[in-house]
Amino acid sequence: MAILECVKPGAKFGQIILVVDLTVAGSVDNVLGKIQDLGYNPEIRHFNYPSGVHVLAILKDEQHSEAVDNDYLLEDWLEVRSEINADAVHLWRGK
């Protein structure tokens, strides 16, 4: 899947981030409720991208000493995408 090969600028080698872009996800209260129902306690961050300011709910931000397998967090990513606007759910990894 192409999304698993997405390398986020600034992501470090071995870093993997599961995130929901609240700017495009829909009703923030509804989305945050669904995220919490899935067992996550997200950290809210904002980033200034060329397209504008985006508010992100960081579900997981992990740093590993070596590159992670392509399947790592795949099930988590698919589960979140099944509950929330799929265009808003990202799995970024540092290569």
What residues have CB less than 8 Å from 37, skipping those under 6 apart? 83
Q: Tell me the longest C-alpha to C-alpha distance in the chain.
A: 37
| Residue-level pLDDT, tens digit, the chain, 95 residues | 334 445 565 678 888 899 999 998 888 889 999 999 999 999 998 888 788 888 889 999 999 997 778 788 999 999 999 999 999 999 888 87
Helix axes 74-83, 28-37, angle to 10 degrees: 140
* Domains by residue range for the chain, with CATH: 2-93 (3.30.70)
